[in-house]
């Protein structure tokens, strides 16, 4: 009697256990991609992250979900890179300046006056050398998936800047870049590296007199209301590398890797289109402010800046390597 009871109980328990296992396999938890960035949601990168979420969730219904942390809500870029390695997030899109500590070759993107415009940057990025740089941080556990544009940086300060001498003595917010540190020190400014989210406070309190960024970042964070003078020198390009961790990427099934890469290629086209459009539209918004003073340099004024800065390439040549510098300079590598 007792034995029969135990047999029945074990039988029932096994059925319950099997059905629990069965239902839980059927309802596998979706893969979550947490995507951290530091800018506003209405910038090219902010919109790009949202389009990426939409496409991924449409193409992997119930299987993959994307959570976006915009505006440094959780992490600054430097924190985000560490968080990727620790598995606290799965994606980020920092500017190159934040990635240079993982591979000095990426300093190529910070060289002043190396790229005249965004088209030249694209030519370099699409070359075999540029594509190789996407995998240049894999030995540190980070995988580059795509390049996204923002645009050419503009200098903004509490006084009109026309010549390099005008920067003398100004405290100046820079991204964490050795190249930028060298550059602004050379021009007599006092460069202070700080995360993007600190810029409004730094300008408001006067910790810094000036800074540099793109029109879309300046407008989206209302930085134009804090410093009225802008100088368009087109001295450097602000762009991003969309990154994930090697560990996360390698755990994804091959067909998912392929589809996510395809989605990113689609999003890249849209981000780059928006970047070009927004930099024009947002420039106009800034100009509409009666206090705004936008200085567009003549070729000869620009030449003075070039003469002051191009010689500093020699300081960083060995970091990036001659081949990379030559490819970037010539823009002629066969695709």
Q: Catalog residues that contact ligand LMR under the rule CB under 6 A.
A: 38-39, 95, 150, 175, 196, 213, 217, 238
Among 59, 39, 64, residue whose Cα is nearest residue 49: 39
Q: Which residues pair with 230 in a beta bridge?
A: 156, 294
Token pair for 214: 């793109």
Q: Specify the residue, 124 or 237, whose C-beta has the smaller distance to ligand LMR.
A: 237
- Cβ closer to ligand LMR: 105 or 217? 217
Q: Are 140 and 105 in contact (CB under 8 A)?
A: no
Question: Burial code of 198-208, b = ≥16 C-beta within 10 A, e = fewer?
Answer: bbeebbeeeeb
Residue nearer to ligand LMR on the CB measure, 31 or 194: 194
Residues 6 or more apart whose Cβ sits within 8 Å of residue 105? 133, 136, 319, 320, 321, 324
Distance CA 145, CA 130 (A): 12
Least separation in angstroms between CB 119 and ligand LMR: 20
Question: Smaller CB distance to ligand LMR: residue 39 or 64?
Answer: 39
Decide whether 175 or 282 has the Cβ nearer to ligand LMR. Answer: 175
* Smallest distance from ligand LMR to CB 326, Å: 27
CB-nearer residue toward ligand LMR: 64 or 208: 208
Question: Could you tell me the sign of the dihedral formed by the alpha carbons of 172, 174, 177, 180, in that order?
Answer: negative
Task: Tell me which DSSP letter residue 114 carries.
Answer: S
Euclidean distance between CA atoms 46 and 52, whole angstroms: 10
Q: How far apart are CA 297 and CA 306, in angstroms?
A: 12
Question: Shortest gap between Cβ of 223 and ligand LMR (angstroms)?
Answer: 10
Whole-angstrom Cα distance, residue 50 to residue 40? 12
What whole-number distance in Å separates Cα of residue 1 and Cα of residue 312?
92
Between 38 and 89, CB nearer to ligand LMR: 38
For residue 244, the cross-strand partners are: 143
Whether residue 226 contacts residue 201, with contact meaning beta carbons closer than 8 Å, is answered with no
Alpha-carbon torsion (160, 165, 167, 168), positive or negative = negative
CB nearer to ligand LMR: give 64 or 167. Answer: 167
Closest-by-Cβ residue to ligand LMR is: 95
Q: Within 10 A of 311 (CB to CB), how many other CB atoms are there?
A: 10
The C-alpha atoms of residue 287 and residue 293 are separated, in whole angstroms, by 8
Nearer to ligand LMR, 52 or 127 (CB): 52
């Amino acid at each position: 009697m007792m034995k029969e009871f135990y047999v029945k109980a074990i039988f029932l328990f096994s059925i319950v256990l099997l059905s629990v296992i069965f239902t839980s396999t059927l309802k596998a938890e979706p893969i979550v991609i947490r995507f951290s960035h530091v800018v506003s949601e209405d910038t090219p990168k902010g919109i790009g992250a949202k389009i990426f979420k939409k496409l991924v969730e449409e193409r992997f219904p119930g299987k993959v979900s994307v959570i976006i942390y915009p505006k440094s809500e959780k992490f600054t870029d430097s924190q985000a890179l560490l968080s990727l390695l620790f598995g606290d997030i799965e994606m980020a899109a920092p500017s190159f300046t934040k990635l240079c500590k993982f591979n000095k070759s990426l300093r190529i993107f910070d060289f002043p006056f190396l790229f005249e415009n965004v088209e030249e940057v694209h030519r370099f990025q699409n070359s075999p050398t540029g594509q190789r740089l996407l995998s240049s941080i894999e030995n540190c556990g980070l995988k580059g998936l795509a390049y996204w544009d923002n645009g050419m940086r503009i200098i903004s300060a509490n006084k009109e800047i026309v010549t390099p001498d005008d920067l003398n003595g100004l405290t100046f917010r820079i991204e964490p870049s050795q190249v930028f540190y060298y550059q602004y020190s050379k021009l007599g400014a006092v460069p202070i590296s700080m995360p993007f989210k600190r810029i409004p406070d730094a300008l408001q309190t006067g910790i810094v007199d000036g800074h540099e960024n793109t029109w879309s970042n300046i407008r989206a964070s209302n930085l134009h209301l804090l410093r009225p003078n802008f100088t368009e020198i087109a001295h450097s390009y602000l762009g991003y590398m969309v990154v994930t961790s090697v560990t996360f990427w390698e755990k994804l099934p091959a067909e998912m890797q392929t589809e996510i890469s395809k989605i990113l290629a689609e999003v890249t086209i849209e981000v780059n289109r928006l970047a070009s459009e927004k930099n024009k539209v947002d420039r106009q918004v800034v100009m509409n402010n009666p206090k705004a003073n936008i200085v567009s340099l003549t070729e000869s004024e620009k030449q003075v800046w070039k003469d002051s800065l191009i010689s500093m390439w020699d300081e960083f040549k060995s970091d990036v390597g001659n081949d990379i510098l030559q490819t970037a300079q010539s823009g002629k590598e066969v695709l």
